[in-house]
Structure 1
Amino acid sequence: MRFILLLLFLIPFSNYTFCQKRVTTYTGTITDATTAEFIPFATIALYNDTLLVDGTSSDNQGKFRVTTTKEWTHLEVSFIGYETIKVELSTIELSNEIQVILHPVYNTLDEVIIQSEKTTTELKIDRKIINLGADLQQSGNSALEAFDQIPEIETDLGTGVISLRGAGNVRILVNGKPSPLNASELLEQIPASSIDKIEIITSPSAQHQANGLSGIINISLKKNINFGFNLNLNSSVGTKRYRYGIDGNYNFSRMNIRLSASDGRRNMDSEQWVFQRYTNGNTRDLYAPHDFNGKVSRISSGIDFFLSENMVLSFQVDHTNDFHSFYNDTFYTNITNSPDFVYTRNSSHTHKTTDYNLNYRASFDNESHFLEIDYNVTNNKNILPAVDIQENVFLSREKQTNINRLHAFAFDYELPLNSFSIASGFSWNYRELDSSRELELTEASATNDSFDYNEYELGGYIQTKFSTPKWNWQAGLRYECFSSKSNNTDTNQEINLNFSNVFPSVHLSYNLNDQNTFAAGYSKRISRPNFRNINPFQIGNQYFQWNANPNLTPEFSDNLEINYQFNRNTIKAFLSAFYRYRKDVIQWIDRIDANGVRIVSFENLGSRNSYGIESTFQYDIANFWNTQLSINYYYTKANQPNVTWDDLYSSNLMFKNTFKLSKTISTDFTYRYNPKNQSIFNFTEPRNRLDAAIRAKFLENRLIANLRIVDVFDQNLRFRTLVLPNIVQRETWRFQSQTFGWLFGLTYKLFQNTEKTRNRKKRNYSHDGSVD
C-alpha cells in the first residue's frame, strides 16, 4: 500500500504536461455498502481515459481530498476485499460531496484472522486508546496484571490500587458501564485475554459522566462476531494459581450467538513487617503473614440480531461468582509495658454479580450518523464474615452483608453535517444499597444494624464537533443532577445530599502531517460523597477502625492537558503534559492512637496543584527487535493543613524489549523502576524488577504457549515509612504477586471458520461517550 501511494504521488511529477492548469479540488467519502462504515486508506486514482494522472487516499475516517491541475475523465476507487468503483467526471454534480460506496468481494479469498503481535497506542482528540495485542507479558493474566504493563496506569498489584497521573479517584468502566465492585476485585475477575482495548480518558468530554477526578479507564471486552462457528480454549497455570476458559461464537448472517466461560483459583502468601516508634519513646513491632485463597467463576452469553445492514439489537447476560478467604496471624512483639501476643483474624468475602445489558444501535446514511440506546442492570450481593481471636481467646464475630442494585440507561444521538456534527444525549443512573452488620462481642449481646442507601443521577449533554483536513475540535456542556438518601439504624441518622452542576469540556487536535499530531483538552470533573464515604459499617478489627464522615462535600477538579504523537514507519513517540487543580480535596486520613489502633476516615482538606509529563518512545531496531522506553513524572503541591509533606511526587520507568527469534518463538524482557514516591503522610523507597516471557506457536498457530516470570531476581519488596505527629512507622511488604512467580499459559483454536466469505465488520458499542 505504501508503494502504491508513493507511486500515485510521484506520477504527477513526470514529464507529461497538460494544457489546462486550472486548480480544482474534489472531496468526498468512501463507505462500505454492507455496514455503511467509513473505509480508511482506500485508493482514489484520477484517469484521463487510460492514463493515470493524479490520486490520493482516504483518511482514517474514510474522507478524501484531491487537488489537481490535470485534466481527467473519471476516477477509480479501490481497496483490498472490495470491488473497484469507476465514477465518471460527467456524473459528479457537486465537487465537495462525492460519495463512493464500495461493495465487498465475496467468495474470492479464504478468511484470514490476524492478531497483532504487540500492543499499539492511538491518540484520539479526547482519549488515548491502548489496543492490546498478543503482548507476551499479558498472556494468561488478569486485567489487573495487564494494567501493570501499561506505563500510563500506575498499578499496585499487592493492594489493587489504580492511579492515573499520580492520583487515585479513577473511574473504571467495563464496556462503558460502572460496576458495584471496587477496582481490585473487578480487575482480578476479568481475564486479560478477554480485553480488546483500554481507553485512558484523562480529560473526558461532555459525553462522559463527570465523576472521577483523575479520569476514566474504560475496558472494552472482545465481542466475537466472526462469521460461522469459532471456538477457542485457553488455560494457564502458575505460582499457586490456575485458570481455564472457553470462548466462541456462531454467526449465521442475521444472528450471532456468543458464549464465554472461565474458572480460576489463586492462592497467595504475602508478608508484612511493621516497626512503630512513638515520639514518647514507646515501641511496637508486628509481623503479619497473609494467606489468601480465592476462586472466580465467570460465564457470559449474548445474542446479536442484525435487523438490517444498519441496525443491531444485542442482549447480554454476565454472571460472576467470586470467593476469597483470608487467614492472618499477626505477631506483636517489643511492646512497651506489655507481653508479646498473637492476634488472629479469619475472614472471607463472597460476592455474586449478575449483569443484564440491552443495546440498540441504528446507523443512518453513514456510521457517524447514529442513534444508540443502552440499558444495563446489575445485581450484586456481598457477604463478609470475620472472626477475631487473641491468644486463643475469642474476641468478636462480625458479618457484613451488602446488596447492590444498579440501573444505567443512556441515549445517544449524533448527526454529522459535512465537516460539522452535533451530538446529544442523556443518562439515568440509579443505585440502591442495603448494608447490614451483625456483631457479637465477648462481653456484650449481639447487635444487628443496617445502613440503607440510594442515589440517582440524571445527566444530559450537547457536544459539537468540527473537522478540516488539518484541524479537529469539539466543545461540549454537560449537566448533572445528583441526589442521595441514607439511613443509619444504629444512630437513627438520615443524610440527604443534593448537587446540581454544569461541566464544560473543550478539545482540539491538529494534524501537521501524516507523522505529527498535536492535541489539547480541558474538562471539569467532580467527586461526590457516596456510600463508601458515609457508610459506618465497614469491616475492621481491634486494631483497625473506620470512621464514616457524613459531612463531606464534593471535590472539584479542573484538568488541562497537551498531547503530541509522532508516527513514522519504525519510530513512534508519545508525549503528554498536564495540569490539574483540585479543591475541597476528599482526603484519606491515617491516624494511629497510643494503643496502636489505626483510625481511617475521609475529610475535605484544602486544595492541590498537580503537574506532570508522560513520554513513550518505540523503535523497531530490526525486523526481529522492538524496543520501548516510557518515562513518567508527576508532582503535586498540596495546600492542605496538618499534613507531613506538601511536596508530593511519583515517577516510573519501563524499558521493554521484544525479540522475535523465529517465526514461531518470541521473547520479552521488561525492566521497571520506581524512584522514591512521596505522599502527604508517607513515602516509599525506590524499587525495581525485571520480568521475562517467552512464547512459542505450534500447529500452524492454532496452539500458543506462553511462559512468564515476574520479578526474575525476587527483589521487588516495598519499603514504606509513615510519619504522623505522634509516631513513625516503617513497613516492609512482600506481595507474592509482585515478587518472584511464574505463569504458563496455553491457547488453542479448537474450531475456526474457514469458509470463503467476508466477515461482517466489527463495531464497538459502548455508551457513555466511548463510541468511536
Structure 2
Amino acid sequence: MYIKLHKTIVILLFFLGCLLINAQNSTIEITGKVIETDSKLPIEYATISILDSGTNQPITGTITNENGVFSIDVKASNFYIEISFLGFTTKTFKDFKIENRKINLKTISLSEDLEALGEVLVRAEKSQTEFKLDKRIFNVGSDLSATGAGALEVLNNVPSVNVSIEGEVSLRGNSGVQILINGKPSVLASADGNALGTITADMIEKIEVITNPSAKYDAAGTSGIINIVIKKSDKKGLNGSVSLNAGIPNSNSFGLSLNRRTEKFNLFSQIGFGLRTYPGETESINRDLIDNTEISSLGDSEFDEKFSNFLIGTDYHINDRNVITLSGSYAYENEDQSSQQNYIGLNRSNNTVTDAWLRDEKTQATNPKLRYELQYKKDFKRHKDQSLLFSALGSSFKKDQTSNFINTTSIGDYADAEQNTRTNYELSDYTFKLDYVHPFLEHYTIETGSQYVINQVSNDFAVSDFDDGVWVDNTDLTNIFNFDQNVLGLYTTAAYENEKWGVKIGIRLEDTQIETLLETTNEKHSKNYTNLFPSAHTSYTISDNFSLQAGYSRRINRPNLRSLNPFSNIKNNYSISTGNPDLQPEYTNSYELTSIHKIGKASLNFSLYNRYTTDVIENITEYADDISISRPENIGTSNTTGFEVNGKFSPANWFTMSGEFNINYFDRKGVFETEIFDYTGNRWTSSLTSQFKLPLDFDLEVSGDYQSKFKSLQGEVYDNLYAGLGLRKKILKGKVILNMSIRDVFASRINQSETVQDDYYLYNSRKRGRFVSFGVSYGFGKGEAMEFSGQRHR
C-alpha cells in the first residue's frame, strides 16, 4: 500500500512539473520604447494593449514609464499588440518575431492625430468653474489637459483672468495679482522670468481665484490671488523653454527655463540676461501767481540697465503626503542713467526770459539681489483637504549709486554749479509662516496660522556741492536713515459650506513694531500698534450658471519706505519730493457684493463695493521761492462707493473678448494745518482686449485702456488713453513661437497732473513712448514656448 501511494505521488509530481515547465515556456515577454515622432522625446503613460486575434477582446495591458519604456508578460499564443496615447495615432503589430520567448518591438514612434484629437475634445471632460465661498475654482478638464497647452493658456480660459501675448497676467483688469503654486509663493510663479511656462495643462488639477482675501492672508492685502494646484502624482520628465528677444528701444534678453519632474523630485531652474532701455520725456511748470514769475523745464532722459539672473530649486516628495521645497535666486543689475533738463525763468508781466540754464545728470548704480526659501507641506490621510504648511523666505537687495549734476547757465546771473549724490542702500526681508487647515463634520473647516515678517533697511545718503574746487557735504541733506519693522500676525477662520450655500468668518491679529533712526542728527521715531482685522464671506449658488458672493474685510496700508524716507530727491531741484517718518498707516473697511453669471459662452461679474478709509495718505505740496516741496501726510478720511463689471466672451473658437469697466464716487474730508480739504469727485477706468486666432496658426491681440481725469487733494490728474498690439505665430505644432508686440501704439500714455492753489500753479508730465519688441521662443519636452519678458521688478 505504501509503495503504491509513493508511486502515485511521484507520478503526480512529475505531471505537475511538466505543467509548470510548459506554463513557463508559454510565457512571452514583450518590450519596447514609445517616443514622439517629431520631438523624439519619450511618451509617458502610453497604453500597451494585448488583444485576442479571434475575438479582439483585451487579454492584458500595461503603460510606459517616464522614459517611455514598457515590459509585459503574455501567456497566450494568438494575439496582436496595440500602442496608443491620447491625441496620437494608434499603432498595431500583428506580424512580429518571437525569439527565445521574447518580442522586442524596439522603438515605436507615435505622431499626433489632430482629427482624432478634435473628436476626443468634443467628448472629453470639460473644464468648469465652481463657486466656493471666498473663491472660485476652475477645474482643468481633458478639453485643456489633452491639448499640450501651457499654464498661461489655461489661465487665459479662467473667467476674470486675462493673459496678454507678452505673458502678463491680470485679474479683473488689475495686473497686481499674486500667483501661488499649491498655496505658497514659488519661483515658478515669479514675474521675473518665464519659469511658469514649464508647467503644462496636464500637470494642473485646478486653479483657485480669490478676489477679496479673507483673514488668512496679509491684512496689507493684494489686488487678488491666483493659486495653481499641481497634480500630486504627475511625473512629466524634462520640460523647458528658451527664448531670445529684441526690442526698440532696447529690450534685448535671453532666457532659459528647465523643469525636471521625477517620482520624488521636481527640479526647476532658470537663467536670464539682457539689456533694457527706458527713455523718458518730462515737463514741469512752477508758476508764482503773486509775483507773476515762472520757472519751467523741458527735458529727456535715458535709463539703461544690464541685468542677469539665476534661480534653482527643488520640490522633494518625501512620500505622497510630505513635500519639501528649497530654492534660491540671484540677480545683478548695472544701471546707467543720463538726462538733460533745459530750464527757463520767465517774467510773465512783460513775457521776457530772465534766466536759462541746462541741468545735466549722470547716474550709475549696481544692484545685487538674493532670494532664498524653504517650505514644508504635509497632507493628512484623514482628509484630502487637511494640511500643514511651514515656509521661511528671505531676501536682500543692495544699491550702490552715485549721481553727478552740472548746471550750465546761458542767460542770467545764476552761477554754474555742480552737485554729487551718493547712496548706499541695503534691504533685508524675512518671512516665516505656519498654516494649518482642518476640515471636520463633512461641511466645516477651521484654518489657523501665524506669520512673522522682519524688514530691515539702511540708507546712507549724502549730497555734496562743488565749492571753490572742493567737494563739500551739504549737512542739511546728508544723513543715514535706518528703518526696522517687525509684524507678527495670528489668524483663525471658520467656515461652513454645503452644495448651495456657505459662510466663512475670520479674525486676524497683527502687532507692528517700527523704529526709524536718522543717525547723524540722532532723530528717533518709534511706533507700536496692535490691530484686529475681521473678515466675513458668504456665497449662494443659485444654479450652475449663477452665483452670489458677499464679503467684508478690514485692511491696512502701511507706509512704504519711500514714503517714510526723509531724504530729498534733487533730480529737479525746483520740484523736490521727500518722505515723512511720522506717517501713520491707513485703515480700510471694505465691503463687496458680487454676482457671477455664466451665459452660454460668456462669463460676467457685477460688483458693488464700498471702501471707507481713515488716515488717508496724500502728498501735500508747499511752495516758496519758486520751489515746490511735496511730502506725504495723513489727511482725513475717504468714502468710496463704486460699481464694477468685467467679463469674457468667446462667441467662436477663433475669437475671445474680455473687458472691464469700473466707476466710483468718492467723498474726501480732511484738515491739515488749519486748511480744510473737503471735496467730492469721481473717476472711471475701462479696458478692452480682443484676441483672434487667425489662419496659419497666427494669434492677434488688440487692447485698449482708458483712465478718466479725476480730482486730487490740491488739483487734478489728467486722463490717459493708450493701446497695445500683439501678433504671435506658432510653428512646429506650437513648439516654436514667433511674436511681436507694441506697447502704447500711439505713444499716448502721458502721466500729467496739475496743482492749483490761490498763490501758485504747478504742472508736471512724464512720457515713456512706444515700445516695440520681437521674440522667438522654443518649448521642449512638455514645456510651453513663451516669452522671457525681462521686465524690471523691484
Shorter-chain TM-score above 0.5:
yes
Q: CA deviation at 1:524?
A: 0.9
- Give the aligned partner of residue 454 of structure 2: 430
Q: CA deviation at 1:406?
A: 1.3
Closer, same or farther in 2 for the Cα pair 1:643/1:722, shift >3 Å?
A: farther
Which one of the candidate residues 368, 386, 404 is aligned to 1:387? 404
CA contact (8 A) 2:235 2:262 kept: no
What is the letter of the counterpart of residue 620 of structure 2? I
Which one of the candidate residues 300, 314, 318 is aligned to 2:325? 314
Which one of the candidate residues 543, 549, 552 is aligned to 2:580? 549
CA contact (8 A) 1:189 1:296 kept: no
What is the letter of the counterpart of residue 665 of structure 1? F
- Give the aligned partner of residue 671 of structure 1: 704
Which one of the candidate residues 124, 148, 152 is aligned to 2:173? 152
Q: CA deviation at 1:201?
A: 5.8
Which one of the candidate residues 724, 727, 744 is aligned to 1:711? 744
- Give the aligned partner of residue 308 of structure 2: 297
- Give the aligned partner of residue 88 of structure 1: none
What is the letter of the counterpart of residue 459 of structure 2? S
Which one of the candidate residues 734, 746, 751 is aligned to 2:767? 734
1:339 aligned counterpart, secondary structure: strand
What is the letter of the counterpart of residue 410 of structure 1? K
Rounded Cα–Cα distance in structure 1 between residues aligned with 2:606 and 2:236: 39
Structure 1 position 623 matched with structure 2 position 653: yes
1:338 aligned counterpart, secondary structure: strand
Structure 1 position 414 matched with structure 2 position 441: no
After superposition, give the CA deviation of every residue in 1:479-528 in whole Å (9 maximum; x if it has no partner): 11111222211221221111111111001111111101111111111233
Closer, same or farther in 2 for the Cα pair 1:471/1:291, shift >3 Å?
A: same
- Give the aligned partner of residue 664 of structure 2: 634
Structure 1 position 693 matched with structure 2 position 717: no
1:335 aligned counterpart, secondary structure: strand
CA contact (8 A) 1:535 1:548 kept: yes
After superposition, give the CA deviation of every residue in 1:653-691 in whole Å (9 maximum; x if it has no partner): 222222212261121222333332332233233342332
Structure 1 position 231 matched with structure 2 position 240: yes
2:445 aligned counterpart, secondary structure: strand
Query: Bigger shift: 266-275 or 396-405?
Result: 266-275
CA contact (8 A) 2:197 2:783 kept: no
CA contact (8 A) 2:495 2:502 kept: yes
- Give the aligned partner of residue 686 of structure 2: 653
- Give the aligned partner of residue 533 of structure 1: 563
Which one of the candidate residues 276, 280, 283 is aligned to 1:270? 280
Q: CA deviation at 1:538?
A: 4.9
Structure 1 position 370 matched with structure 2 position 393: no
Map 1:586-601; keep pairs closer than 5 Å: 586-595=617-626, 597-601=627-631
CA contact (8 A) 1:177 1:408 kept: no
Closer, same or farther in 2 for the Cα pair 1:485/1:559, shift >3 Å?
A: same
Equivalent residues, number: 615
What is the letter of the counterpart of residue 333 of structure 1? I
Q: CA deviation at 1:706?
A: 1.3
What is the letter of the counterpart of residue 517 of structure 2? N
Q: CA deviation at 1:311?
A: 1.0
Percent of aligned positions with the same letter in both sequences?
21
Q: CA deviation at 1:199?
A: 8.6
Rounded Cα–Cα distance in structure 1 between residues aligned with 2:279 and 2:208: 33
Q: CA deviation at 1:567?
A: 1.6
Rounded Cα–Cα distance in structure 1 between residues aligned with 2:596 and 2:430: 38
CA contact (8 A) 2:569 2:578 kept: no
- Give the aligned partner of residue 401 of structure 1: 424
Rounded Cα–Cα distance in structure 2 between residues aligned with 1:644 and 1:735: 32
Q: CA deviation at 1:193?
A: 6.3
Q: CA deviation at 1:118?
A: 7.3
Q: CA deviation at 1:380?
A: 1.6
Closer, same or farther in 2 for the Cα pair 1:548/1:498, shift >3 Å?
A: same
Rounded Cα–Cα distance in structure 2 between residues aligned with 1:187 and 1:301: 12
Structure 1 position 492 matched with structure 2 position 522: yes
Q: CA deviation at 1:719?
A: 4.2
- Give the aligned partner of residue 463 of structure 2: 439
What is the letter of the counterpart of residue 610 of structure 1? T
What is the letter of the counterpart of residue 513 of structure 1? S
- Give the aligned partner of residue 570 of structure 1: 601
Rounded Cα–Cα distance in structure 2 between residues aligned with 1:533 and 1:110: 49
Which one of the candidate residues 623, 628, 633 is aligned to 1:603? 633
What is the letter of the counterpart of residue 373 of structure 1? F
Q: CA deviation at 1:62?
A: 13
TM-score (norm 2): 0.71
What is the letter of the counterpart of residue 231 of structure 1? G
Closer, same or farther in 2 for the Cα pair 1:663/1:563, shift >3 Å?
A: farther
Rounded Cα–Cα distance in structure 1 between residues aligned with 2:193 and 2:595: 31
Q: CA deviation at 1:593?
A: 2.7
Closer, same or farther in 2 for the Cα pair 1:696/1:221, shift >3 Å?
A: same
Map 1:129-528; keep pairs closer than 5 Å: 130=161, 133=163, 135-136=164-165, 138-139=166-167, 146=168, 152-153=173-174, 189=192, 203-212=212-221, 215-218=222-225, 227-240=236-249, 241-280=251-290, 281-336=292-347, 338-365=354-381, 366-391=383-408, 393-417=416-440, 418-443=442-467, 445-446=472-473, 449-528=479-558
- Unmatched 5+ stretches in structure 1: 1-55, 64-78, 82-108, 124-128, 140-145, 156-161, 163-170, 180-185, 755-772
Closer, same or farther in 2 for the Cα pair 1:588/1:223, shift >3 Å?
A: farther
CA contact (8 A) 2:197 2:240 kept: no
- Unmatched 5+ stretches in structure 2: 1-124, 133-139, 200-205, 348-352, 410-415, 785-794
After superposition, give the CA deviation of every residue in 1:179-216 in whole Å (9 maximum; x if it has no partner): 9xxxxxx998456966989998663311112125xx44
Query: Bigger shift: 248-257 or 269-278?
Result: 269-278
After superposition, give the CA deviation of every residue in 1:678-730 in whole Å (9 maximum; x if it has no partner): 32233233342332222111112110111112333344444433323432233
Structure 1 position 684 matched with structure 2 position 740: no
TM-score (norm 1): 0.73
Rounded Cα–Cα distance in structure 1 between residues aligned with 2:655 and 2:126: 31
Closer, same or farther in 2 for the Cα pair 1:191/1:609, shift >3 Å?
A: farther
CA contact (8 A) 2:193 2:255 kept: no
What is the letter of the counterpart of residue 693 of structure 1? G
Closer, same or farther in 2 for the Cα pair 1:198/1:245, shift >3 Å?
A: farther
After superposition, give the CA deviation of every residue in 1:290-329 in whole Å (9 maximum; x if it has no partner): 1111233221110111100111111010112233332111
Query: Bigger shift: 632-641 or 676-685?
Result: 676-685
